[in-house]
Copies of this chain bind each other. A is one copy, B any other.
Amino acid sequence: MVADISAVLRWIDAHFDDSVARLRDFLRIPSVGADPAHDADTRRAAEWLVTELRGIGIEAALHDTPGHPMVVGRVEEGRGPRILYYGHYDVQPPDPLELWQSPPFEPVVVEGPHGPRIVARGAVDDKGQLLTILEALRAWKAVHGALPVPVTVFVEGEEESSSTNLEPFMEDHRGLLAADVVVVSDTLMPGIDQPAITTRLRGMVYAEVTVGGPAQDLHSGMFGGAVVNPIHVLAALVAGLHDDRGRVTVEGFYDRVQPLPPEEQRSWRELGLDEGAILAAAGVDRSVGEEGYSVIERIWGRPCLDVNGIWGGYTGEGAKTVIPAEAHAKLSCRLVPDQRPAEIFTALRRHFEARLPEGCRIGMRELGRGDPVCVPTDSPHLRAARDALREAFGREAALIGCGGSIPVVASFRRILGLDTILMGFGLDDDRMHGPNEKFELRCFERGIKSHALLLARMAELAGG
């Protein structure tokens, strides 16, 4: 009953230049969602998507929110599980502009070691990856006039600014978004020829800490040596967060941490990832972290704590002799199953309060949280995705982790009851969020084919 997929794949090859041209059009829209100066551009990206979806033959509409609009398209065709595709049309700010070799919103195709690549803000995150889905849908519609399974396309414009309106929208549109599984392309592969599905995402809790000492800023000559300096206190608190084996010292931090399943450890080892290359990409010459774990295990499977920002006193040019009234830090913990963000925040607060010297004040604010995620690896949907990737790449898809958080995955689980298949086509060196962001055209092409194949595999689950 499943329509012929090879014709779809041929169509993709034959029309690939058009796909790249459409990606260029999309990348030309500077949809910097976080910057109000780009509000009109950001909306224009949403409107562009609606037009494209309709051009493909998908009923689509723009749904206004207090922030940037949601784009939702639905197709009532075929048989089998309904796929809810999720992506985002907003992009990170392009700063620092001076580090770009070509203007961030004037996409160029340049030759790299893996063949041509497209360079622009949003190339990989997420416009290029989002279009792998749209172009697969387009190919199916062009070749067969219909999709083999029902699908919903759901694209937001606030992913780079905390997805503020995403959960409320989901809560209010459970019917519109109802589906059997979520499929997202916004993650990485371990290498250009190694397809992968991300099944582990670290959670997070983000906090801001303020240590107070003197009631006001003091002249360090007049009082230095006799009064508490909150920078010293904060530095000691930060220095005390890790022991000499690289473990976080916060009491209870590891209580709920599930040890890594040996089979997962083994399969990560078998990937044969070049840890030296990962470190080189980070611009370091060695790994620092929890004793007894590999680099990959530290990033994919173990929790950690990083101070993301610190400030206090005089930070301008030259010298100012001040003992500041306050010093501040922002810090985040990356969490793994079954750690809970709220518990870790409380443990952090207790930790600091217990270590605060007398005569000081401390305040803590929570600035964000997300649950860690483990996607079940034995579902028929995941098997379908692995099959599709194997066929597109000619190699078995790895099940990998991701050190970062994709909070929407937890939202889909909690609000819509859906698991998410993270089938990403980015590479470590794509400079997501950085200057000269790029997307390999080989990844773009295989991504489109993977999604075309996934539609076929999903249709087979209908039992046809």
The number of times this chain is found in the oligomer is 2
The 5 listed contacts between A and B (C-beta, < 8 Å) are A213-B284, A222-B403, A225-B403, A308-B313, A309-B320
Using a CB–CB distance below 8 Å, which chain A residues touch chain B?
162, 202, 204, 206, 213-216, 218-229, 231-232, 234-236, 238-242, 278-279, 282-290, 295, 298-299, 302-304, 306-315, 318-325, 327-330, 332, 334, 357-359, 367-368, 402-405, 432-434
Which residues does chain B contribute within 8 Å of A319, judged by CB atoms? 162, 206, 308, 330, 332, 367-368
Which residues does chain B contribute within 8 Å of A303, judged by CB atoms? 225
Contact B307 A402 (CB under 8 A): no
Give the distance in Å from the alpha carbon of A332 to the alpha carbon of B322 in the complex.
9
Which residues does chain B contribute within 8 Å of A404, judged by CB atoms? 219, 221-222, 321
Which residues does chain B contribute within 8 Å of A278, judged by CB atoms? 226
Which residue in B216, B308, B323 is a CB contact (below 8 Å) of A308?
A: B323
Give the distance in Å from the alpha carbon of A320 to the alpha carbon of B308 in the complex.
7
Question: With A236-B239, A319-B330, A320-B309 given, is the CB distance from A287 to B226 under 8 Å?
Answer: yes
Q: How far is the CB of A363 from chain B (nearest CB, A)?
A: 16
Which residue in B216, B227, B329 is a CB contact (below 8 Å) of A279?
A: B227
Which residues does chain B contribute within 8 Å of A215, judged by CB atoms? 282-284
Given pairs A227-B282, A239-B239, A288-B359, 20 additional interface contacts (CB within 8 A): A219-B404, A219-B432, A220-B334, A222-B404, A223-B403, A224-B304, A225-B306, A226-B282, A228-B288, A229-B307, A232-B242, A235-B235, A235-B238, A235-B307, A284-B359, A306-B323, A308-B322, A310-B313, A319-B332, A321-B404
Which residue in B231, B290, B332, B433 is a CB contact (below 8 Å) of A307?
A: B231
Output the nearest chain B residue to A405 by Cβ-Cβ distance. B221
Output the nearest chain B residue to A323 by Cβ-Cβ distance. B306
Contact A314 B309 (CB under 8 A): yes
Which residues does chain B contribute within 8 Å of A231, judged by CB atoms? 238, 306-310, 329
Q: How far is the CB of A98 from chain B (nearest CB, A)?
A: 14
Which residues does chain B contribute within 8 Å of A311, judged by CB atoms? 310-312, 315
Give the distance in Å from the alpha carbon of A226 to the alpha carbon of B303 in the complex.
10
Question: With A288-B228, A288-B357, A403-B221 given, is the CB distance from A214 to B307 under 8 Å?
Answer: no
Q: How far is the CB of A420 from chain B (nearest CB, A)?
A: 17
Contact A227 B284 (CB under 8 A): yes
Output the nearest chain B residue to A207 by Cβ-Cβ distance. B319
Which residues does chain B contribute within 8 Å of A228, judged by CB atoms? 284, 288
Contact B232 A307 (CB under 8 A): yes
Give the distance in Å from the alpha carbon of A328 to the alpha carbon of B241 in the complex.
19
**For the complex of A and B, 7 pairs with smallest distance between CB atoms:** A215-B283, A221-B404, A225-B304, A235-B238, A309-B313, A239-B239, A309-B314
Give the distance in Å from the alpha carbon of A204 to the alpha carbon of B221 in the complex.
9
Contact B313 A330 (CB under 8 A): yes
Question: With A202-B221, A309-B312 given, is the CB distance from A214 to B284 under 8 Å?
Answer: yes
Give the distance in Å from the alpha carbon of A202 to the alpha carbon of B288 in the complex.
41
Which residue in B229, B295, B307, B402 is a CB contact (below 8 Å) of A313?
A: B307
Give the distance in Å from the alpha carbon of A223 to the alpha carbon of B304 in the complex.
10
Contact A289 B221 (CB under 8 A): no
Contact B298 A225 (CB under 8 A): yes
Contact A299 B226 (CB under 8 A): yes
Give the distance in Å from the alpha carbon of A428 to the alpha carbon of B318 in the complex.
26
Q: How far is the CB of A219 from chain B (nearest CB, A)?
A: 6
Which residues does chain B contribute within 8 Å of A229, judged by CB atoms? 306-307
Which residues does chain B contribute within 8 Å of A242, judged by CB atoms? 232
Question: With A308-B321, A320-B308 given, is the CB distance from A302 to B225 under 8 Å?
Answer: yes
Q: How far is the CB of A303 from chain B (nearest CB, A)?
A: 7
Contact A235 B310 (CB under 8 A): yes
Output the nearest chain B residue to A334 by Cβ-Cβ distance. B224
Output the nearest chain B residue to A435 by Cβ-Cβ distance. B216
Contact A310 B307 (CB under 8 A): no
